[in-house]
Amino acid sequence: MSTEKAYALSLDEQDSLKDFRNEFYVSEDKIYFDGNSLGLLSKRAEKSVHTLMDSWKKHAIDGWSDGAHPWFYLSENLGKLSANLIGAKPEEVIVTGSTTTNLHQLISSFFKPQGEKTKILADELNFPSDIYALKSQLQLKGLNPENHLVQVKSKNGNTLETQDIIDLITDEIAIIVLPAVLYRSGQILDMETLTKEAHERNILIGFDLCHSIGSIPHSLTDWEVDFAFWCTYKHLNGGPGSVGGLFVNEKHFDISPGLAGWFGSAKDKQFDLEHEFSAARNAGAFQIGTPHVLSAAPLIGSLEIFQEAGISRIRRKSLQLTKYLMELIDAELADYGFSIANPKDDEIRGAHVFLEHPEAARICKALKADGVIPDFRNPNGIRLAPVALYNTFAEVWQMVQILKTIMMEERYKEYDNKRGVIA
């Protein structure tokens, strides 16, 4: 590996995904490495929003059945477009709700505490919203979260060990909810092994795919994962507040949704408007209310791009980008107190690099002032996410040079070492 810019440019020249950068609104004045928080707007996503707005303008109420993308079937059709990203059957996927509302729906549907099986197994590194939802669901069942939420401990504060999780899958556990990729360190959990271990103990297991969908391949159906849920505004580039998604393994299609709503009805029965709920025989049963059509619209264009690019090629380039970034950090920033806290092994590294530094908050501010958009994570973390569809190897090289200059000249000292209102 060379530290010269020419090497980065040669990697870009060989990149089979390089033309997809033209699909996105990329600022030439900034290096955007925060796509694991909010992906950039694509021109196709913008177009699909206008298409849905136009269907409202032209068809009014008939937009539910007419136009290029009838709203009545939009959630199902987006589910079909998402299915190959998670290794699922089209009927097992629905685009609906949000990350947390979908988790509430899934836990209310599948968490059935009985006898000694009354506990939920999670982890201490998961995004807080998941933990809030799990505690809330326990309380709704009259169970004290302090006693009934079991959280796997991390030995180093950044990663989890598979065996530590397995050791806590006891006879008291009724259901397991874990992230596919840890949001801070980017560690990929061994979903296949954990699912097998859970099922050997007659325990259901589901995964939060917020940081994995669109960045790594999955095989949820083949692994026999019971359920999953995710947002679409990170690697899927669906826009701020875009509609979430969920997966339910077809073996559970006979389970009644815990939070029933009219859009979970079988399509041919929905407008009979009967008070007896006739649930759809697919993941659509777990919808609650009317689809958020305009918030789902960007995904039409965004998911088309993923169909063309292919998740395997995306993953291959993502690994190359993050490996190159780590190699440059080791070569250029070794004297400035950074430590790489994400896994270095390709098999368990997600799509971002996680740096730790005592001055992380002020370093992030200095980077933003110099045109680099990172992501600060309290108390000392810097997430850098070069995204395969629109970031380049040259940007990785340039970012490291900017960061090196900031550290050499101690320009980060111009800023307070505390996060802003939004990190």
* Annotated binding-site members for pyridoxal 5'-phosphate: 99-100, 127-130, 208, 211, 233, 262, 290
Mapping DSSP to helix (H, G, I), strand (E, B) and coil, where does residue 337 land? coil
Which tokens sit at 276? 């007896």
d(CA 297, CA 311): 21
Residue type, 385: A
Say if residues 78 and 69 touch (Cβ distance below 8 Å). Answer: no
d(CA 260, CA 271): 16
d(CA 182, CA 126): 7
Which tokens sit at 236? 């899927």
d(CA 81, CA 135): 33
Q: How many CB atoms lie within 10 A of CB 410?
A: 11
Say if residues 186 and 157 touch (Cβ distance below 8 Å). Answer: no
d(CA 350, CA 348): 6
DSSP codes, 378-413:
TTTEEEEB--TTT--HHHHHHHHHHHHHHHHTTGGG
Residue 335, classified by CB atoms within 10 Å of its CB into exposed (0-12), middle (13-18) or buried (19+), is exposed
User: Which of 327, 325, 335 minimizes the C-alpha distance to 407?
Assistant: 335
Which tokens sit at 220? 């949820």
Say if residues 236 and 213 touch (Cβ distance below 8 Å). Answer: yes
Detail the residues annotated as belonging to a binding site. Answer: 99-100, 127-130, 208, 211, 233, 262, 290
d(CA 234, CA 386): 12
Q: Which residue shows structure tokens 């996680």? A: 354
